[in-house]
Structure 1
Amino acid sequence: MANKYFSSVLKSLLLLLHLVFLSKQHVDSASIVKFLPGFEGPLPFELETGYIGIGEEEEVQLFYYFIKSERNPKEDPLILWLTGGPGCSSISGLLFENGPLTMKLDVYNGTLPSLVSTTYSWTKTSSMIFLDQPVGTGFSYSRTQQFNKPSDSGEAKRIHEFLQKWLGKHQEFSSNPFYVAGDSYSGLVVPATVQEISKGNYECCNPPINLQGYVLGNPLTDYAIDSNSRIPFAHGMALISDELYESLKKTCKGEYTNVHPRNTQCLKFIEEFNKCTNRILQQLILDPLCETETPDCYIYRYLLTTYWANDATVREALQINKESIGEWVRCYRTIPYDNDIKSSMPYHVNNSISGYRSLIYSGDHDLEVPYLGTQAWIRSLNYSIIDDWRPWMIKNQIAGYTRTYANKMTFATIKGGGHTIEFKPEEASIMFQRWINGQPL
């Protein structure tokens, strides 16, 4: 009887040890992915997925997709891509903005949605890491209960730690020129991350990261400047009348977001403004506003991606830890998070002083973070202009406008573009390739 009992205990212990071993395997794990469900044949590029553990106990497991440059990975730049939100998966960048695959827009019939190759991938000339951050975003997860909420400034530190550990495991990329890139909300996190890496290069970390600069699209930069630019933008785009705009300017005095409750006139006119614009798609004012994910609607691709990323065969191919998350969501809108950077302008200043290049671009039909606000904060930095406002061209057609400043900052608009480059990926790719190769736009 005793032998049976000890045998049973031994089996249980062995099973427990096996489970511990399996869970440990996924700490700082990396897998080469040669096939992806939904894509026909082997992938025409090199994809690696994995987790990097962050923190003393590595309780935070940040998930990434790494794609090698299709040109010369030994020497080409290495780009870290952060999607905004906070809480939006980096799959948004990979499948909609600048990756080598995208969703095939077939009507969903209950089978696995298909993937197809793109022509506009930034991986044609750069290696790219698409990172799910903060913890809880995409496939990133925590092995213990989180007591400290992620924050803008905290993420800059975590991302720096991620990079040090990632490069420690991929030392062949440690000397490649390195850039941080992202759009939307990451306009607050990217400049802080650049400063954190720069500081680390001087203070703590060997070998240093070969940081060269950063890229930002329609970036949230300063809450007050960006939000107050929406009404002038709406007026310039003929969404509100001259009379309403003049009344708003007169009664609100340029402050349209933190209006004093006693300023009833201003509040009344803002209500009128909202009536004029609440049926406009803020991310791209030219497109129809879709409230349901129907096949003729732009956001249908988001629904297809949700079906794809929640498929068991896809998760297996990506080597997702089965215990990590339940349902994958593209954007975790209620993610616990402390928005502690109200303006990233001081970081831009410090990064310029440190000599880093930057490309700031704006889709010029975005009402969410309008180009007017981006131009305003860049102008307030008072850098001298070395290449004044001019069109930049693709095949003898105007693709947007650009201006370059003495602090190595280039500003560009993408004509007809929206809040993210998923609306104009071909044009954005050409703009990026020229800039990253050191050519004028």
Structure 2
Amino acid sequence: MRRSSNINCLSLQKVSRWFLFLLLSHTASSQSIIKKLPGFSGDLPFNLETGYVGVGDLDDFQLYYYFIESERSPENDPLLLWLTGGPCCSSFSGLVYEIGPLFFNYANSTENSITLELNPYSWTKVANIIFIDAPVGTGFSYSKSSQGYQSNDILYASQAYEFLQKWLMAHPKFMKNSLYIGGDSYSGKIVPLIVQKVSHGSEAGSQPVLNLKGYVLGNPLTYLKQDFNYRVEYANRMALLSDTIYKSAKRNCKGNYVDVDPNNQLCLNALKIVDKCVGKVSLEHILLPNCHGTDLNSFVEDSVTDFAAPYEQQKCKNDRRKFSNIWMNYIDVQKALKIREGTKTAWARCNRTLPYIYGYESSIGLHRNFTHKFLRALIYSGDHDMTIPYLSTHAWIKSLHLGIEDDWRPWFSDDDQVAGYTIRYANEKYHLTFATIKGGAHTAPEFNPQECFAMISRWFASFIL
């Protein structure tokens, strides 16, 4: 009888926690269905929801999100939480410049009249996607107190995890959908932290139970020193450095080009020659023109170059970024997106004023822990990105010491052209696909939307490119 009583008590505790969480989810979130947007002709041909989810003590942190249902089968397609890098860059950047259903019509837009059009290669054709403005102070997310804007990697991941729990409680019809966590660039440090929290929560019996299946990372920052260190070898392989210059730098710097000993004059001299060769090459895409005034040693995403879709012109990325900064500050746009009045004085794609601490050095250990779990991972790299070279990403993947399930081979776009190269690793539980995007840049879907759409749609369907 005692055993039965204990079981009943435990069951009641779980039920109580469930109803408490359910109650909190309804009081902590707000949501609106958006039918029209300024600059887009007619009703939106997809389901867009925006809203806020409160996290933290007393819901002090109000995280803003955009949710777009799959245009194919919302009830069956996976649910993807997408983070934009930076850090502190709005998820609207990922939505309108990379994988979402809308982008700016640059040819027909001016600063006074900005128009939007449909992206034929939107990932929302095969997945439900939540774009979240995080950490607090990014995009339209805000804190009820000034102290709340202080953030770091761990806090960012914790808030995103709580957001996901509460969002799913408010959207129970998506509870059973396969869940993936994704992002690019600096998100390479945050996504694994969220995956770890979701995994630990499930193992501890936390409610709600999240149906986590895996994660997706594009050109991810994983271990800054290692990622940056591979730039020199990458430059040599891409014929930006001669073999003689590369060997001299490697010998005199002992393979370490980051945090160089200030007394190692031979290394410093070698690196001056390296900088002379690559200092004015665009890190984001080595074939694109370098823009005046960019910080070539920065990993933040505004310090890169780009060309304007649909690729008739070559321009600095900042020339494109101004469209989002202007459009998102239109009063009628903020009203259409149901932004709470008085919470934001001006929208910026990336908030460089936030007191953010870059405290989590490397996420490689997290990936190593995941190899013992039932998870699938897709890691992709634009092969013309020198910001986070594919060499660095592939190096830490190989350090996981997984078995090779399908060795290095080309993968093809829908028009039967080589779209990149791929290799698939596995053990009994864990499966990881690494893919390069031929000619791709740091934000690969922005530069190669057709190839990246083929990649993600196939991987979701069968995990084979």
TM-score (norm 1): 0.91
Q: CA deviation at 1:259?
A: 0.8
> Could you tell me which amino acid in structure 2 is paired with residue 398 of structure 1?
V
Partner of 1:127: 128
Q: CA deviation at 1:296?
A: 4.9
Q: Distance in 1 between matches of 2:457 and 2:159?
A: 28
Q: From the superposition, tell whether residues 110 and 370 of structure 1 become closer, same or farther in structure 2 (CA, over 3 Å).
A: closer
CA contact (8 A) 2:64 2:140 kept: yes
Q: CA deviation at 1:335?
A: 2.4
**Which of 440, 443, 448 is residue 424 of structure 1 equivalent to?**
448
> Could you tell me which amino acid in structure 2 is paired with residue 28 of structure 1?
S
Q: Distance in 2 between matches of 1:110 and 1:256?
A: 42
Deviates more, 1:334-343 or 1:135-144: 334-343
Aligned residue runs from structure 1 range 147-166, under 5 A: 149-166=150-167
CA contact (8 A) 1:225 1:377 kept: no
Q: Distance in 2 between matches of 1:175 and 1:107?
A: 42
CA contact (8 A) 2:60 2:148 kept: no
Partner of 1:20: none
> Could you tell me which amino acid in structure 2 is paired with residue 420 of structure 1?
T
CA contact (8 A) 2:228 2:258 kept: yes
Q: Distance in 2 between matches of 1:174 and 1:336?
A: 34
Q: Secondary structure at the match of 1:353?
A: coil
Q: From the superposition, tell whether residues 69 and 160 of structure 1 become closer, same or farther in structure 2 (CA, over 3 Å).
A: same
Partner of 2:183: 182
Q: From the superposition, tell whether residues 280 and 334 of structure 1 become closer, same or farther in structure 2 (CA, over 3 Å).
A: farther
Q: Secondary structure at the match of 1:123?
A: helix
Q: Distance in 2 between matches of 1:103 and 1:148?
A: 30
Partner of 2:418: 398
Partner of 1:81: 82
Q: CA deviation at 1:333?
A: 2.9
Deviations 1:16-65 (A, max 9, x none): xxxxxxxxx99622110000001000000000000101112111111100
User: Are 1:375 and 2:433 an aligned pair?
Assistant: no
Q: CA deviation at 1:241?
A: 1.9
Q: From the superposition, tell whether residues 115 and 410 of structure 1 become closer, same or farther in structure 2 (CA, over 3 Å).
A: same
Q: Secondary structure at the match of 1:63?
A: strand
CA contact (8 A) 1:225 1:376 kept: no
Aligned residue runs from structure 1 range 31-430, under 5 A: 31-106=32-107, 108-146=109-147, 149-291=150-292, 296-299=314-317, 300-394=319-413, 395-406=415-426, 407-421=430-444, 422-430=446-454
Q: Secondary structure at the match of 1:404?
A: strand
Structure 1 unmatched ranges of 5 or more:
1-24
> Could you tell me which amino acid in structure 1 is paired with residue 218 of structure 2?
G
Q: Distance in 2 between matches of 1:335 and 1:426?
A: 35
Q: CA deviation at 1:352?
A: 2.0
Q: Distance in 1 between matches of 2:283 and 2:352?
A: 17
Partner of 1:22: none
Q: Distance in 1 between matches of 2:110 and 2:154?
A: 43
Q: CA deviation at 1:348?
A: 0.7
Q: Distance in 2 between matches of 1:191 and 1:82?
A: 12
Partner of 1:438: 462
Q: CA deviation at 1:148?
A: 7.1
CA contact (8 A) 1:112 1:311 kept: no
Q: CA deviation at 1:270?
A: 1.2
Q: Secondary structure at the match of 2:354?
A: coil
Q: Distance in 2 between matches of 1:298 and 1:379?
A: 35
Q: Distance in 2 between matches of 1:110 and 1:436?
A: 38
CA contact (8 A) 1:112 1:307 kept: no
Q: CA deviation at 1:126?
A: 0.6
Q: CA deviation at 1:93?
A: 0.8
Q: From the superposition, tell whether residues 36 and 384 of structure 1 become closer, same or farther in structure 2 (CA, over 3 Å).
A: same
State the identity %: 48
Q: Secondary structure at the match of 1:39?
A: coil
Q: Distance in 1 between matches of 2:122 and 2:27?
A: 29
Deviations 1:279-324 (A, max 9, x none): 1111111111223899851422211111111110000000111211
Aligned residue runs from structure 1 range 5-20, under 5 A: none
Q: Distance in 1 between matches of 2:417 and 2:155?
A: 43
Q: Secondary structure at the match of 1:57?
A: helix
Q: Distance in 1 between matches of 2:193 and 2:111?
A: 43
Q: From the superposition, tell whether residues 229 and 296 of structure 1 become closer, same or farther in structure 2 (CA, over 3 Å).
A: closer
Q: From the superposition, tell whether residues 148 and 323 of structure 1 become closer, same or farther in structure 2 (CA, over 3 Å).
A: closer
> Could you tell me which amino acid in structure 2 is paired with residue 122 of structure 1?
W
Q: Distance in 2 between matches of 1:26 and 1:270?
A: 56
Partner of 1:7: none
Aligned-residue CA RMSD in angstroms? 1.7
CA contact (8 A) 2:219 2:382 kept: yes
Q: Distance in 2 between matches of 1:78 and 1:327?
A: 30
CA contact (8 A) 1:219 1:369 kept: yes
Q: From the superposition, tell whether residues 349 and 37 of structure 1 become closer, same or farther in structure 2 (CA, over 3 Å).
A: same
Q: Distance in 1 between matches of 2:452 and 2:153?
A: 26
Q: Distance in 2 between matches of 1:346 and 1:225?
A: 14
Q: Secondary structure at the match of 1:327?
A: coil
> Could you tell me which amino acid in structure 2 is paired with residue 306 of structure 1?
N
Q: Distance in 2 between matches of 1:223 and 1:349?
A: 17
> Could you tell me which amino acid in structure 2 is paired with residue 302 of structure 1?
R
Q: Distance in 1 between matches of 2:111 and 2:442?
A: 31
List 4+ stretches of structure 1 deviating above 4 A. 292-296
Q: Distance in 1 between matches of 2:158 and 2:45?
A: 34
